């Protein structure tokens, strides 16, 4: 079974500090809402995986028609990485952005 949290401090210390995967989903949602080129649907798919205590994120987005896909995706990856690092001091191993479609 996959881990449901990311360990922040090792068990060598007095206690353990860990973050649940829902924390990272919330940070990704904040990053998505901050980008004006993304159409926010009811539920944007966000997958959070923790493999050997390394964070992997995948999300699908719908873009506004006429935007530069490469630029928007690169900016979104950077925003997600920066927000997670700033809020949790954890570096993501990978951030995958899938473009699901376009809307006017």
Structural domain spans, the chain: 5-103
With 0-12 CB in 10 A as exposed, 13-18 as middle and 19+ as buried, what is 64?
Answer: middle
47, two tokens: 């997958």
In this predicted structure, what is the pLDDT of residue 29?
92
pTM, rounded to two decimals: 0.84
Average pLDDT over residues 46-59: 88
Q: Which string of DSSP letters, residue by residue, matches 49-76?
A: EEETTEEEEEEEEEEETTS-HHHHHHHH
Report domain 5-103's class: alpha beta
In this predicted structure, what is the pLDDT of residue 10?
57
List, for residues 65-103, the tens digit of each pLDDT value.
999 999 999 999 999 999 999 998 889 999 999 999 999
In this predicted structure, what is the pLDDT of residue 1?
41
Average pLDDT over residues 50-74: 91
């Amino acid at each position: 079974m996959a881990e449901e949290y990311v360990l922040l401090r090792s068990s060598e210390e007095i206690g353990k500090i860990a973050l649940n995967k829902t924390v990272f989903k919330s940070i990704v949602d904040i990053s998505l809402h901050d980008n004006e080129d993304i159409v926010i649907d009811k539920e944007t798919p966000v997958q959070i995986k923790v493999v050997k205590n390394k964070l992997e994120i995948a999300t699908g987005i719908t873009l506004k028609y006429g935007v530069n896909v490469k630029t928007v995706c690169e900016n979104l990856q950077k925003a997600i990485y920066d927000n997670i690092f700033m809020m949790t001091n954890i570096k993501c191993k990978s951030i995958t952005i899938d473009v699901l479609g376009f809307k006017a």
